[in-house]
Amino acid sequence: MRWSRTFIPTLREDPADAVAASHRLLVRGGFIRQLMAGSYSLLPLGMRVATKVSGIIRDEMNAIGGQELLAPVVHPAELWKRTGRWDDVEGIMVKFEDRRGADLVLALTHEEVFAQLASELNSYRELPQLWYHLQTKFRDEARPKSGLLRVREFIMKDSYSLDVGLDGLDVQFEAHRGAYDRVFARMGLESIQVEASSGNMGGSDSVEFVVRSDAGEDRVALCDSCGYAANLERAVSATDEVPDDPWEGPPQPFPTPGVRTIAGLTVMGRFAAARRQIKTLAYYVGDEFTLLVLRGDHDLEIQKLVDAVAGVVRPATEGEIVEKLGARPGSLGAVGVEHPVIGDPVLRGRFNMVTGANEDDVHLRGVDVERDLPVGRWLDMRSVREGEDCNTCRSGSLSLSKVIEVGHIFKLGRKYSEALGATVLDESGRPTPIVMGSYGIGVGRSMAAVVEVSHDGKGIIWPVSVAPFAVVITLLRPDNPAVGQAGERLYRDLNNAGIEVLLDDRKERPGVKFADAELVGIPYRLTIGPRGIESREAELASRDGSLAETVPLDRVIARLAEMVS
RNA sequence: CGGGCUGUGGCGCAGCUUGGCAGCGCGCCUGCUUUGGGAGCAGGAGGUCGUCGGUUCGAAUCCGACCAGCCCGACCA
């Protein structure tokens, strides 16, 4: 394509509202434009990159037996009511009516539709199947941010595996694991697989594919020794032993005027160190007022709780706490309460601990966890901290990283097929619900992740695999006949050789062209100007700085062909 | 959803405190000169000042409501 005829609205200055590097550079480089919060148009360059990403995904999906189709983005509410998600995902689902008053929704994802399609299968002999599409999703996120990293409308590749049994699911799950590894590697991303929460998708195993970046919103724990990797929503660490001092007799109240925090209590003395305190949090789990007890220096990882209990989880308000316990937050404890208590297992066996007395300005010491707290359920629900020992290998320590989630694979099981009647007859002639898996890759988010990990002060540095063009020909004096003719000939020959090329034929000064080429991030730049044309040479430079050489014009095509392949 | 901030030409911003002709830089158009790292000179086009209402002789400016966007947090199939 010719730059002069292509819509590439680059900006000299950074857009005011962009913070993340990918957001800033994709807007400034003329790849995307915002329409409203969390929704972007892909301009020609952005579309070319998205097409490259989609192409890699299709390639690898087809390689594991995927069949591409396309399911609608507007669904009847009925479908979502049948699986229960009409109510479960209240809030981020856009609902509306058609002219007859029928309830419709915009698809957040497509488990329902694919399960519905799968109900046409009749026999185990037709399985396994692997279906996928690249389709728009709309999620009315409360807070879209960071350009393409967190949007409301986006294109996702989602695939759905259909099997007779769990063994088949395992095979397809592992096939996806490999395909995803290859997809991200081909895009130039170093992806890491981490154990993840399945959220309200339902199902058992789930693995996230993440890329390290400070622009990311998820946090993961990584072991420096054995390779253990997990999202903080699920991560576990080895517990450090805390020796308790002996204590005889029942818990003893003591005055703590004005103390409202764990840290505030520690000044009372060694016996009240944070590790010797019991942190008591008041939550509603479903309709039940519930106390959560953790070690004083630990934090609640709420997703672990959400994953382990039924119903909605929310913190109790101060008013509810005072009504139920008779004290305000800061003096709460679970000793002798009649409410349900969930305890973090690190507290098991601990004694002579300090906790609130459910009376303002009073705490208890000498608390023996298993003797004094009516813990009805032990549940790991604490958040892993930087530097804690790995629970898997016991020799490494965990570090925490911020990451961008670019892919997620789930073993769904039979939830959707049962709800929607997607059954086949098994070998013995009995109907059995199809076992499903679902697997997603965000196209735009992957693009943004590439930019996050591959840019410099001048702009984006695309890998050839997803670059909008492999080469840009920068004509320094397009009006100079020798330069113009040489440029046109190279442009034609590169196109004929199947190398994607952008010809910068604009009547701009050299500085503008160089700066734009670097901003847009095309991997190779071929510079043709009056200086080199006399000796029939062009300059070839790579955007990443690894190459800068002079090439005779008649060698250019061959040289680029070997670079780009 | 809670807290903070911002809406003025395509982009970045000033003007608002103290009401009185709507400005600056970049970009854009025309001409001349220039041309290997974001050119110079001259001329020019382009704005319901987010929306609605109020106060006032007069509102970008003061008051109110609403809308939109950004940031922090909560949330995130």
Confirm whether the ipTM is greater than 0.85.
yes
Name the burial class of residue A406, with classes exposed (0-12), middle (13-18) and buried (19+) by CB atoms within 10 angstroms of its CB. Answer: buried
Report how far residue A496's alpha carbon sits from residue A508's, in angstroms, rounded to the nearest whole number.
27
Strand B proximity: list residues 254-273 of A with CB under 7 Å: none
Mean pLDDT of A133-153: 94
User: Which nucleotide shows the minimum CA-to-C1' distance to residue A233?
Assistant: B76
Q: How far is the CA of A511 from the C1' of B32 (A)?
A: 22
pLDDT digits (tens, 9 = 90+) for A414-468: 999 999 999 999 999 999 999 999 999 999 999 999 999 999 999 999 999 999 9
Q: How far is the CA of A18 from the C1' of B70 (A)?
A: 8
Model confidence at A311, pLDDT cuts 50, 70, 90, reads: confident
User: What is residue A198's predicted lDDT score, i.e. its pLDDT?
Assistant: 73
Q: What tokens were used for A273?
A: 């160190």
User: Which nucleotide shows the minimum CA-to-C1' distance to residue A477?
Assistant: B35
A290 touches strand B (CB under 7 A): no
A156 touches strand B (CB under 7 A): yes
User: Which nucleotide shows the minimum CA-to-C1' distance to residue A37?
Assistant: B69
A487 touches strand B (CB under 7 A): no
Residue A61 has pLDDT above 70, yes or no: yes
Residue A202 has pLDDT above 70, yes or no: no
Q: How far is the CA of A374 from the C1' of B60 (A)?
A: 65
Mean pLDDT of A49-61: 98
Q: How far is the CA of A72 from the C1' of B69 (A)?
A: 30
Contacts of A170 (CB under 8 A, 6+ apart): A411
Residue A487 has pLDDT above 70, yes or no: yes
**Mean pLDDT computed over every residue of chain A:** 94
Strand B proximity: list residues 393-432 of A with CB under 7 Å: 408
Q: How far is the CA of A217 from the C1' of B3 (A)?
A: 20
Phi and psi at residue A2, in whole multiples of 5°? -100, 130
Residue A151 has pLDDT above 80, yes or no: yes
Strands A218-223 and A206-212: unpaired
- Per DSSP (E only), the strands in A101-176 are 103-106, 129-138, 153-163
Q: How far is the CA of A507 from the C1' of B29 (A)?
A: 15
pTM: 0.94
Contact A436, A115 (CB under 8 A): yes
Q: Which nucleotides of chain B have an atom under 7 angstroms from any protein CB?
A: 1-2, 10-13, 25-27, 34-39, 68-77
A484 touches strand B (CB under 7 A): no
Report how far residue A293's alpha carbon sits from residue A281's, in angstroms, rounded to the nearest whole number.
6
As beta bridge partners, residue A367 has A353
Strand B proximity: list residues 13-72 of A with CB under 7 Å: 13-17, 19-20, 34, 36-38
User: What is residue A317's predicted lDDT score, i.e. its pLDDT?
Assistant: 84
User: Which nucleotide shows the minimum CA-to-C1' distance to residue A476?
Assistant: B36
Residue A201 has pLDDT above 70, yes or no: no
Strand B proximity: list residues 164-223 of A with CB under 7 Å: 199-201, 217
Mean pLDDT of A20-45: 95
Strand B proximity: list residues 79-108 of A with CB under 7 Å: 85, 89, 91-92, 108
Return the closest-CA partner of residue A42 out of A199, A126, A151, A142: A151
A443 touches strand B (CB under 7 A): no
User: What is residue A314's predicted lDDT score, i.e. its pLDDT?
Assistant: 85
User: What is residue A39's predicted lDDT score, i.e. its pLDDT?
Assistant: 93
